[in-house]
């Protein structure tokens, strides 16, 4: 066996051996099984198991032990450190190819939404958006699902400070209208905005969740003549929701990527 360096802490290695002994095929293990899998005595295996249980990484179920949700903390920093746009891009690309439309990922920055990732449509004539583009949150589908994810106090602060302007004849122009649209986005789990920012353009967006927090919005921009609102609700929104769930899973991990349904 290769000699370990002087700084090497053998007990740390053994603790990880115990944690890694659990698997989807063997979610519950006894002291004897852990001892056999980690090449420890039963007494040593029991001490490690009990210590890890005291720290919250394992729980005892009768004569067996199993991992707890806290064991996921070990990988949380790695997952959180992955840049969200990089995580999202392959999923946005797949969505763009499926829909033959431009797809984007946006975040809320102050009063605006900012595009942090964008994949253009494979079509020659398509909606053109670039990373870094900003729009007022109130006027976009992305902004409304992001506003819907805010705590009530922050949402009210936004509503108190928002300034409306008429981009088109369809643009909303009051706080009551915006509040209604945000509440609707929260209830349905998606938002659709037609020709409020630009004539002939329809935007659809769904939130990307990390636990109980909305961290971004996935959006597709379509020209209004390409599909009706009813068709979009039946065909496009499910694909958006699927994409958002995949991004959330890759970004936050299964411990924090919660599937959301309308009215939840």
What class has domain 10-67?
mainly alpha
- The pairing of strands 112-119 and 134-136 is antiparallel
- The pLDDT profile of the chain, 264 residues, written as one tens digit per residue, is 467 888 999 999 999 999 999 987 889 999 999 999 999 999 999 999 999 999 999 999 899 999 998 887 776 665 555 588 888 999 999 999 898 888 999 999 888 998 989 888 776 555 567 788 889 999 999 999 999 999 999 999 999 999 999 898 889 889 999 999 999 999 999 999 988 888 888 899 999 998 888 999 999 988 777 778 888 888 999 999 999 999 998 887 665 555 454 433
How much is the pLDDT for 154? 93
How much is the pLDDT for 222? 83
Q: Which two tokens stand for residue 131?
A: 């990373």
Q: 79-252 in CATH: which number?
A: 3.30.450.40
How much is the pLDDT for 259? 45
Cα dihedral across residues 178, 257, 263, 150: positive or negative: negative
Q: What is the DSSP string of 84-118?
A: HHHHHHHHHHHHHHHHTSEEEEEEEETTEEEEEEE
Question: Do the beta carbons of residue 102 and residue 129 sit within 8 Å?
Answer: yes
Whether the model clears a pTM of 0.85, i.e. scores above it, the answer is no
Q: What angle do CA 210, 67, 10 make, to 5 degrees?
A: 110
Residue spans of the domains in the chain: they are 10-67, 79-252
Token pair 């636990």 is at which residue?
A: 211
Round to the nearest angstrom and report the end-to-end CA distance of the chain.
55
């Amino acid at each position: 066996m290769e000699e370990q360096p002087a700084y090497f802490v053998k007990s740390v290695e053994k603790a990880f051996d115990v944690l890694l002994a659990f698997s989807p095929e063997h979610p519950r293990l006894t002291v004897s099984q852990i001892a056999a899998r980690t090449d420890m005595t039963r007494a040593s295996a029991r001490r490690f198991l009990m210590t890890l249980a005291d720290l919250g990484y394992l729980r005892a179920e009768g004569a067996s032990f199993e991992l707890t949700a806290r064991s996921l903390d070990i990988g949380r920093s790695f997952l959180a450190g992955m840049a969200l746009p990089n995580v999202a891009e392959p999923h946005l690309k797949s969505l763009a190819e499926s829909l033959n439309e431009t797809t984007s990922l946006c975040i809320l920055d102050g009063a605006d939404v900012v595009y942090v990732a964008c994949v253009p449509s494979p079509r020659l004539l398509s909606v053109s958006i670039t990373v870094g583009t900003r729009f007022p949150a109130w006027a976009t589908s992305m902004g409304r699902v992001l506003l819907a994810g805010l705590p009530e106090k922050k949402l009210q602060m936004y509503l108190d400070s928002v300034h409306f302007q008429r981009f088109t004849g369809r643009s909303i122009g009051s706080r009551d209208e915006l509040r209604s649209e945000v509440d609707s986005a929260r209830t349905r789990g998606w938002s659709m905005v037609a020709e409020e920012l630009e004539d002939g353009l329809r935007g659809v967006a769904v939130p990307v969740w990390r636990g109980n927090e909305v961290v971004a919005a996935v959006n597709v921009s379509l020209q209004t003549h390409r599909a009706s609102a009813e068709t979009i609700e039946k065909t496009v929104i499910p694909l958006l929701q699927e994409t958002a769930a995949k991004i959330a899973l890759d970004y936050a991990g299964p411990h924090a990527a919660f599937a959301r349904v309308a009215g939840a």
